[in-house]
Amino acid sequence: MNPSKRREIFLRLQAANPHPKPELEYSTPFELLIAVLLSAQATDISVNAATRQLYPVANTPQALIDLGEETLRSYIQRIGLYKTKARHVIQTCKMLVEKHGGAVPKTREALEALPGVGRKTANVVLNTAFGLPTIAVDTHIFRISNRTGIAPGKDVLEVEQKLLKFVPDEFKLHAHHWLILHGRYICQARKPKCGECIIESLCEYKNKVF
């Protein structure tokens, strides 16, 4: 795919959604971090349902530590892998209090040192909470990048590196949100809605569905 075609793709995505927002609900960097931790192999809908009950009770590292792992489980038990996630959340909260004064760190190295936080979660926090031009690659973005030809790669790291290289700078801040929403609602895995797609004429997918 050539640079002019990539640019036009993002111009169209931008025109359709100038100010994209994450679907996870949060009001602080810490709330976002915990929501993203909980979202692995879970839907944003289920995470939001849990955090709407949890955050009014405990939405700081110390408050969650005081709440305790067992009680935390009761709030998130409808989310997949909730026992492991509860353990990671409490461990992360303790590390935030002990090493970062209760604040969410703003570097990749410090974020990825937190229990349960990998590269994708760190990228989401850096981009969404702190406004850095990182691009977290999830299953939707991996699929879109390969299917459309925007940034084909054999694994998520290769796709991320290509996106950072190929996406024009002016679009990098919101690229993650545009792509994930497009993958979630239009360029779906089994039945892509090519007839509704605003970038269909630019897409290099050979098996379009109309």
- Tokens standing for 116? 């349960």
Please write the tens of the pLDDT for every residue from 48-57: 999 999 999 9
- What is d(CA 159, CA 151) in angstroms, rounded to the nearest whole number? 6
Which pTM value belongs to this model?
Answer: 0.93
Average pLDDT value over all residues in the chain: 97
Q: Which fold has domain 3-20+135-202?
A: Endonuclease Iii, domain 2 (1.10.1670)
pLDDT per residue as tens digits for the range 10-29:
999 999 999 999 999 999 99
**Catalytic residue list:** 120, 138
Same fold, 3-20+135-202 and 29-129: no
Mean pLDDT of 165-182: 97
CATH number listed for the domain at residues 29-129: 1.10.340.30
Over range 162-189, report the average pLDDT: 97
Q: pLDDT value at position 109?
A: 97
Alpha-carbon distance of 146 to 110, in angstroms, equals: 30
Task: List the domain boundaries for the chain.
Answer: 3-20+135-202, 29-129
Assign 158 to helix, strand or coil: helix
Percentage of the residues of the chain whose pLDDT score is greater than 70: 100
User: Helix, strand, coil proportions of the chain in percent (round to 5)?
Assistant: 60, 0, 40
